Amino acid sequence: MKLLEEEIRKRGKILPGNVLKVNSFLNHKIDPVLLDKMADEWYEKFKNDNITKVVTIESSGIAMAILVALKFKCELVFAKKGKSSTLGNVMTASIYSYTKEKEVLISIENGYIKEDDNVLIIDDFLANGSAALGLISIIKYAKANLKGIGIAIEKGFQDGGKKLRAEGYRIESLAIVKSMDYTTGTIEFEEA
């Protein structure tokens, strides 16, 4: 998606350790008009898949995922991190959070993903694939049908996307970073 690539070039910041900071428009301060256009892109890609549930993980995925769910007029479920006293019986998975630098338990309440659901996962980043794999294991536990994974920014130089595609999952990333260099501030994207 050219518009997203342009925004990343204009407003993203490359930090040491292959960190791409998009705090100023995508996942802390958020441009809702851009996110709504991104939701249109995912809707176009999955509109024939009879999506009945959008699934994401708190917190950065929620804003984009609700806009996608609104287009499909289906429910959104977001996995919660850590423990919360307001959850009942849950389905869980463990993921490694690179921003928190620790293993984190994610939970979705039992019954919120059903066996006949056609699920679309939406998330802001795909790097090593830990978050996606955690959600996939919960979706499998619920015996639902995973139709695909919509990602805003895939780090193509990390192996999450490769692994998931090799396992047969359909990944639709709106921007795939081929390489980035914090010393020069340059970033290259894979051709769509």
**Interface with a second copy in residues 127-146 (CB under 8 A):** none
Question: Quick one: which segment of 17-25, 136-144, 168-176, 181-189 binds a second copy (CB under 8 A)?
Answer: 17-25
Q: Does 78 bind a second copy (CB under 8 A)?
A: yes
Q: How far apart are CA 104 and CA 159, in angstroms?
A: 20
* Cβ nearer to a second copy, comparing 19 with 170: 19
CB distance 47 to 118 below 8 Å: no
CB distance 35 to 64 below 8 Å: yes
The CB-of-191 to a second copy minimum distance in angstroms stands at 28
Give which of 115, 76, 113, 75 is closest to 93, Cα–Cα. Answer: 113
Q: Does 109 bind a second copy (CB under 8 A)?
A: yes
Give which of 70, 63, 111, 62 is closest to 87, Cα–Cα. Answer: 111
Q: Does 40 bind a second copy (CB under 8 A)?
A: no
Q: How far apart are CA 168 and CA 179, in angstroms?
A: 25
Q: Does 19 bind a second copy (CB under 8 A)?
A: yes
Among 14, 51, 67, 133, which residue interacts with a second copy (rule: CB under 8 A)?
67
Q: Which residues contact 17 (CB under 8 A, 6 or more apart)?
A: none
- Binding-site ranges for a second copy (CB under 8 A): 19, 21, 23-24, 28-33, 35-36, 58-59, 62-63, 66-67, 69-70, 73-78, 80, 82-88, 98-101, 108-109, 112
